[in-house]
Amino acid sequence: MGAKASTIHRQTGQTWCQRLLQWASPQRAYPLAERLAPWCLTVALLLSAVGLYLGLFVAPTDHQQRDAYRIIYVHVPAAWLGMVVYVAMAFWAALGWVLNTRLSSLMARALAPTGAIFTFLALWTGALWGKPTWGTWWVWDARLTSMLILLFLYIGFMALQAAIDDPRKGDKAGALLAIVGVVNVPIIYFSVKWWNTLHQGSSLSGGATMAPIMLYSMLLVSLGFWAYGIGVALLRLRHLILEREADADWVSRLPELKA
């Protein structure tokens, strides 16, 4: 009975692995991305609109920074997404490198521009916030500098892959850079604790004193940015799949390409 049970368990495990590998194929992912992307973008629009309305028009004015503080409803979610997307990009890139799965590497490529945009948005809004708060657009603060390095890592990841003609070699080279660059993410997060910086601490570390409407607004915008990032990455993934699988039979049978 023990040997039989072990055989059944092994066969069940193999069945689940086969199912996961089927969904990991570009052919399966292409229509799934088409179905999910519009829903993600719709949710993004709704959550972001509600969150920004509450933050810009309903949340109370800060007694120190007055209305200048309201930029946090864009700045903080963008900074969060810039870091989280990089970790996700590195994860997919490493998965594609180790398991040699095409879809994983394509997902990493699809996430990179989105992460770069959110990182740039965080830096730009931070500069807008820093001018009235610190009296200058930019300081070589530990948090700001490490965030700028994150932007350079995104740009380097995309540039490195674009510079290599062989897409598979480009995937591996980009994966190596992404994995090494992950060390910068905890540096960004803990920089305000490890060094004496001008940048304020975590916006949620004082959650007990933050007005609930301010916290809810920030979380709604963050979720909206999440949904937007996923939706746009899925749309970009579909485009990358068509490029990488251009010679596959299933691509030639797609209705949208026949029209």
pLDDT of residue 47: 95
Main-chain phi, psi angles of 62, to 5 degrees: -70, 140
Range of the domain at 163: 43-58+69-258
Question: Is there a domain that residue 233 lies in?
Answer: yes
Question: Is there a domain that residue 178 lies in?
Answer: yes
Residue partners of 229: CB distance under 8 A and separation at least 6: 81, 85, 111, 114, 115, 118
User: What is d(CA 225, CA 209) in angstroms, rounded to the nearest whole number?
Assistant: 25
How far the first Cα of the chain sits from its last, in Å, is 58
Please state, in angstroms and as integers, the Cα–Cα distance from residue 34 to each residue in 19, 29, 153, 234, 245, following that order: 20, 9, 29, 8, 16
Per-residue pLDDT of the chain (259 residues; tens, 9 = 90+): 445 545 444 544 445 445 555 556 777 877 888 889 999 999 999 999 999 998 888 777 766 667 667 788 898 899 999 999 999 999 999 998 988 888 899 999 999 999 999 999 999 988 887 676 666 766 777 778 888 999 999 999 999 999 998 888 999 999 999 999 999 888 887 766 655 554 555 555 544 466 788 888 889 999 999 999 999 999 999 989 888 876 666 666 666 665 5
Q: Note whether 198 and 139 are within 8 A (CB).
A: yes
What is the number of domains present in the chain? 1
Question: Is there a domain that residue 195 lies in?
Answer: yes
Give how far the C-alpha of residue 68 lies from the chain's centroid of Cα atoms, to the nearest Å: 27
Question: Is there a domain that residue 31 lies in?
Answer: no
pLDDT of residue 224: 95
User: What is d(CA 200, CA 183) in angstroms, rounded to the nearest whole number?
Assistant: 22
pLDDT of residue 152: 95
Which residue intervals of the chain are DSSP H helices?
Answer: 2-23, 26-53, 72-99, 102-134, 142-163, 167-181, 184-194, 212-244, 249-252, 255-258
User: What is d(CA 40, CA 78) in angstroms, rounded to the nearest whole number?
Assistant: 17
Dihedral of CA 83/84/87/89: which sign? negative
User: What is d(CA 166, CA 140) in angstroms, rounded to the nearest whole number?
Assistant: 38
> What 3-state DSSP class applies to 138?
coil
For residue 22, give both structure tokens. Answer: 């089927």
Question: Is there a domain that residue 14 lies in?
Answer: no
Question: Is there a domain that residue 114 lies in?
Answer: yes
Q: What is the pTM of this model?
A: 0.83
**Amino acid at the residue 45:** L
Question: Is there a domain that residue 226 lies in?
Answer: yes
Question: Is there a domain that residue 51 lies in?
Answer: yes
Number of residues that make up the chain: 259
